[in-house]
Amino acid sequence: MSTPRRFDVVVVGAGSTGAAAASMLAARGRRVALVERRRLDVAGARWINDIPPWLFDEAGVARPEPPERRCACVPITMLDRAGTPRVELERPMWGIDMRALGDRLRGDAERQGVELFAQARLLELEHHGSEGRPVALEIEQGDRRTRLEAALFVDASGLAGELRVRSRALARRCLPVERGDLVSAAQQVCSIADRAGARAFLARHGDRDGVLTWSGVGGGFSTLGVRVELDADEVELLTGVEATHAELDGPSLLQAFKRKNPWVGAVVFGGASMIPVRRPYDRLAAPGLALVGDAACQTFPGHGSGVGSGLLAARMLERATASRDDPGAASSMADYQARFHRERGGVHAAYDVIRRLAGSLGEDDVDRLLTSGLVTPATTSAALLQRMPTLGPRLVAEIARAAVDVPALAVRFAAAGPRMLAAERAYAVHPGGVDDRALGGWARRAAWLAGHAVDPHP
Ligand SMILES: Cc1cc2nc3c(=O)[nH]c(=O)nc-3n(C[C@H](O)[C@H](O)[C@H](O)COP(=O)(O)OP(=O)(O)OC[C@H]3O[C@@H](n4cnc5c(N)ncnc54)[C@H](O)[C@@H]3O)c2cc1C
């Protein structure tokens, strides 16, 4: 027998997105339940994530302070395979300890009166009515079963999309993310076992402060980032490899670096996981159900960053449902979906064009891209900020000069530019509303303009 409990909103997943959504909805006076499969003190991301501070402001989440913020806007140097620095700029993101951000957001949620259900196993998502709206979620904690009834269910369970896959309306429209749209990533903070070794590593790379980054190390969309903090006796390591790579993944690339660099000591903390890097699903909601964060593929495709956009999505959901008696009403869900696509979907779809192009390059092409000067500090900075680049006459002239040496590569990237703009515009005119034909027509048009495959619109 299960005990029935009634809420306005049930959020599944207490990572940064789910905790923020629960807290924001509760601050609006909603009765909210937050369900998490793990213990709360180990929920969500447990490593360092780089996040542009403007995304905190936009989401209305207080900017992190130290020690939650480990570093602010340190320099970044992109090196080619020979170890020559090619692009140098002030990295416009902050390094955030996700353990601390997650704790803060879950603490906020608790203070707002959110009821927490930790170490819970999801059982059935019950549906009702002709439109198949979810009405209750059965969960199990030890030998206790609870039936959580709500007007709105929010899937913030990350890549697995635990409610999405159980949803009558969304499972067939939002298919599981394909391998080609996943990146295997690993991040660790390690102690420095040998300071002389760490100094020698830095000296070999020009004694630069901040983050040293190699791209295309494992072919295509792969990256290795190293930040040595001699003062703190720590080194931060980050790797990312396309999930389709035949031999490598994020953790093995990270281990390979450590084997070659025995000055790197024991792991202090960190983790590894798959990141969805496709554009957001065409459908982000259905009556009674909203997808947010990685569950909605709202990760920025340019570099697989999902924290800031998950917080933004949580805020958009809170605003879209704010003045409605029924937070899960079809009109509220349509409003949330349209807000995200119009404001952020276009930038994500635009950078997905670049991500797919980069993924088709071999190691030599990636190296040529860097050595040619086609990748500039201005375009890199825009990508790191998760914004569209501003192509002024000086930047265009700089890129045109670089293009002369790599004409074939330049032609491919030149074709991507208009496609990025077309994708951005297509999303800006998302039709909103609940009309299936209009939504399907928009999705097909956007897919054609951006060159991606359309999600099913049955
Ligand atoms: C190594 C690495 C480095 C990264 N670097 C960056 C970066 O620099 N910047 C950035 O912005 N992003 C980065 N990301 C991506 C970022 O971590 C994710 O986009 C972000 O954590 C997504 O947050 P989320 O809350 O949507 O999902 P998650 O963090 O995945 O949280 C989902 C939560 O749901 C819970 N859950 C899952 N299934 C169930 C279930 N059945 N029932 C109940 N609860 C469930 C999980 O336990 C988890 O707590 C990185 C990812 C990795 C792996």
CATH number at residue 265: 3.30.70
* pLDDT higher than threshold 80 for residue 220: no
Please give the Cα distance from 235 to 193 (Å, whole number): 10
Q: Is 36 in the pocket of ligand 1 (CB under 6 A)?
A: yes
Q: Is 45 in the pocket of ligand 1 (CB under 6 A)?
A: yes
Q: Is 306 in the pocket of ligand 1 (CB under 6 A)?
A: yes
Residues 6 or more apart in contact with residue 282 via CB below 8 angstroms: 173, 174, 439, 443, 446, 454, 455, 457
Task: Kindly state the average pLDDT of the residues 172-183.
Answer: 96
Question: Taking the mean position of all CA atoms in its chain, how far away is CA 336?
Answer: 18
Please give the Cα distance from 224 to 178 (Å, whole number): 23
Q: What is the predicted pLDDT for the residue at 400? A: 86
Among residues of the chain, what percentage have pLDDT more than 90?
A: 79
Residue 217 counted as domain residue: yes
Q: Is 13 in the pocket of ligand 1 (CB under 6 A)?
A: yes
Please give the Cα distance from 379 to 386 (Å, whole number): 11
Q: What is the predicted pLDDT for the residue at 131? A: 63
Each residue's pLDDT tens digit, 413-431: 888 989 999 999 999 999 9
Cβ neighbourhood burial of 336 (10 Å; 0-12, 13-18, 19+): buried
Please give the Cα distance from 71 to 277 (Å, whole number): 25
* pLDDT higher than threshold 90 for residue 439: yes
Q: Is 386 in the pocket of ligand 1 (CB under 6 A)?
A: no
Shared domain for 146 and 292, answered yes or no, is yes
Shared domain for 22 and 58, answered yes or no, is yes
* pLDDT higher than threshold 80 for residue 401: yes
Q: What is the predicted pLDDT for the residue at 189? A: 98
Q: Which of 160-164, 215-219, 222-226, 333-337 has the lowest mean pLDDT?
A: 215-219
Judge contact between 276 and 182, C-beta under 8 A: yes
Residue 351 counted as domain residue: no
**Looking at the whole model, is its pTM more than 0.95?**
yes
Residue 414 counted as domain residue: no
- Give residue 20's identity as a one-letter amino acid code: A
Ligand 1: centre distance to CA 103 (Å): 14
* pLDDT higher than threshold 90 for residue 37: yes
Residue 170 counted as domain residue: yes
Judge contact between 13 and 126, C-beta under 8 A: no
Shared domain for 320 and 305, answered yes or no, is yes
Shared domain for 48 and 171, answered yes or no, is yes
Q: Is 5 in the pocket of ligand 1 (CB under 6 A)?
A: no
Shared domain for 209 and 160, answered yes or no, is no
Q: Is 212 in the pocket of ligand 1 (CB under 6 A)?
A: no
Q: Is 157 in the pocket of ligand 1 (CB under 6 A)?
A: yes
Ligand 1: centre distance to CA 44 (Å): 5
* pLDDT higher than threshold 80 for residue 221: no
Shared domain for 264 and 285, answered yes or no, is no
Higher pLDDT, 127 or 363: 127
Task: Kindly state the average pLDDT of the residues 140-148.
Answer: 97
How high does pLDDT run on average in the chain?
A: 94
Each residue's pLDDT tens digit, 369-385: 888 888 888 999 999 99
Residue 52 counted as domain residue: yes
Each residue's pLDDT tens digit, 77-135: 998 888 888 888 989 999 999 999 999 999 999 999 999 999 999 999 999 876 689 99
Q: Which of 14-23, 120-129, 298-307, 394-403 has the lowest mean pLDDT?
A: 394-403
Phi-psi region of 288 (alpha: psi -120 to 50; beta: other; left: phi over 0): left
Cβ neighbourhood burial of 340 (10 Å; 0-12, 13-18, 19+): buried
Q: What angle do CA 63, 319, 450 make, to 5 degrees?
A: 85
Residue 415 counted as domain residue: no
Ligand 1: centre distance to CA 305 (Å): 10
Shared domain for 293 and 152, answered yes or no, is yes
Of 274, 300, 333, at which residue does a domain stop?
274
Domain count for the chain, please give it. 2
Q: Is 162 in the pocket of ligand 1 (CB under 6 A)?
A: yes
Residue 283 counted as domain residue: yes
With the most atoms of ligand 1 within 8 angstroms of its CB, the residue from 16, 51, 224 to mutate is 16
* Owning domain of residue 188: 181-274
Q: Which of 40-54, 84-98, 307-321 has the lowest mean pLDDT?
A: 84-98
Shared domain for 134 and 30, answered yes or no, is yes
Q: What is the predicted pLDDT for the residue at 396? A: 86
Shared domain for 215 and 313, answered yes or no, is no
Which ligand 1 atom sits closest to the C-alpha of 308?
11
Say which CATH number the domain at 304 has. Answer: 3.50.50.60
Shared domain for 266 and 294, answered yes or no, is no
Shared domain for 170 and 248, answered yes or no, is no
pLDDT band at 9 (very low <50, low <70, confident <90, very high): very high
With the most atoms of ligand 1 within 8 angstroms of its CB, the residue from 181, 294, 311, 386 to mutate is 294
Each residue's pLDDT tens digit, 256-269: 999 999 999 999 99
Task: Name which residue sits closest to atom 52 of ligand 1, judged by CA.
Answer: 185
Taking Cα atoms as reference points, which of 175, 169, 162, 161 lies closest to residue 456? 175
Euclidean distance between the first and final Cα of the chain, in Å? Answer: 37
Which ligand 1 atom sits closest to the C-alpha of 307?
11
Taking Cα atoms as reference points, which of 282, 295, 452 lies closest to residue 359? 452
Shared domain for 223 and 134, answered yes or no, is no
Ligand 1: centre distance to CA 352 (Å): 20
Q: What is the predicted pLDDT for the residue at 360? A: 85
Residue 87 counted as domain residue: no
pLDDT band at 323 (very low <50, low <70, confident <90, very high): confident
Of 221, 243, 274, at which residue does a domain stop?
274
Of 315, 345, 375, at which residue does a domain stop?
345
Task: Kindly state the average pLDDT of the residues 435-449.
Answer: 96
